[in-house]
């Protein structure tokens, strides 16, 4: 069952831009990759849109382009021709498109230098970005409990966020509500707790849907390190889990224990 040009282009984009999710998708059945690669490629396109220009208006226009794609899919009419948008439209439903529109809208925070308003704003950002992406992927692959998937996605999202802190601060963003040692530790510990809760209920995620969560395993080493040594976040000393995770991914795919 081969891929067409669009799916191959999406897969190549994910391979370059999101290696952990690329490896996780490659460990999934071919049918699942037809869902995962367009979703993950869409996420890369949206995530990088605010950063390819210093002009906020242009960044807004780039994000609006993807919101228009989501609207076209949600309305069920023709969808503009694009190597990511075209296979995405074939992989998701109208309701999925509305969730992805929320993801795009949340990324407007990345354009500007305003801090998060409060803890609820930060939690909503994480849930609409990491949470919505993972939930759409999981529910397109099989039966899954939404709360379990979102808990797992939060853990993975916070781990990735903590690794990105130095770069975000260099770019003039204010990525943390509380950047003190205790604030960082509390954030990492909270993510560990949600990830542990998700794993305690992993039976509520069917075997086919678990392929959307195989990348989550990378979060453990990062969250443990940030909890034990919060200063490692600002100093860019958090571990790179990828070398070891490449070996562990096969075990997760075999056992389904993300």
pLDDT, tens only, 117-135: 999 999 999 999 999 999 9
Q: Which of 146, 143, 118, 135 is nearest to 208 (CA)?
A: 143
**Rounded to two decimals, what is the model's pTM?**
0.96
- pLDDT tens for residues 104-113? 999 999 999 9
Is residue 17's pLDDT more than 60? Answer: yes
Q: Torsion angle, CA of 46/47/48/53, rounded to 10 degrees? A: 80
The structural domains of the chain, with segments of one domain joined by +, span 1-112, 114-258
At residue 172, what are phi and psi to the nearest 5 degrees? 90, 10
pLDDT of 1 strictly over 50: no
- CA distances (Å), origin 27, targets 6, 11, 44, 153, 252: 20, 13, 20, 19, 9
Q: How confident is the model at residue 248 (pLDDT cuts 50, 70, 90)?
A: confident
179-189 pLDDT per residue, tens: 999 999 999 99
Q: CA 26 from chain center: how many Å?
A: 17
């Amino acid at each position: 069952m081969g891929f067409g040009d669009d799916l191959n282009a999406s897969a190549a984009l994910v391979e370059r831009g999101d290696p952990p999710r690329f490896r996780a998708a490659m460990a999934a059945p071919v049918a699942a990759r037809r869902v995962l690669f367009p979703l993950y490629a869409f996420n890369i396109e949206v995530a990088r849109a605010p950063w390819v220009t210093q002009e906020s208006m242009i960044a807004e226009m780039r994000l609006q382009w993807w919101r228009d794609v989501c609207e076209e899919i949600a309305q069920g009419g023709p969808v503009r021709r694009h190597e990511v948008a075209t296979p995405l439209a074939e992989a998701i439903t109208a309701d999925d498109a509305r969730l992805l529109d929320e993801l795009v809208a949340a990324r407007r925070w990345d354009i500007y230098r305003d801090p998060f308003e409060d803890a609820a704003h930060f939690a909503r950002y994480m849930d609409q970005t990491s949470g919505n992406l993972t939930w759409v992927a999981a529910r397109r692959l099989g039966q899954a409990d939404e709360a379990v998937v979102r808990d797992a996605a939060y853990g993975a999202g916070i781990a990735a966020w903590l690794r990105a802190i130095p770069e975000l601060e260099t770019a003039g963003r204010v990525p943390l509500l509380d950047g003190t040692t205790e604030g960082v530790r509390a954030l990492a510990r909270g993510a560990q707790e949600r990830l542990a809760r998700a794993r305690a209920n992993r039976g509520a995620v069917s075997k086919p849907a678990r392929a959307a969560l195989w990348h989550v395993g990378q979060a453990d080493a990062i969250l443990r390190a940030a909890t034990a040594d919060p200063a490692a976040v600002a100093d860019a000393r958090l571990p790179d889990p990828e070398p070891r995770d490449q070996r562990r991914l096969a075990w997760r795919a075999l056992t389904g224990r993300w």
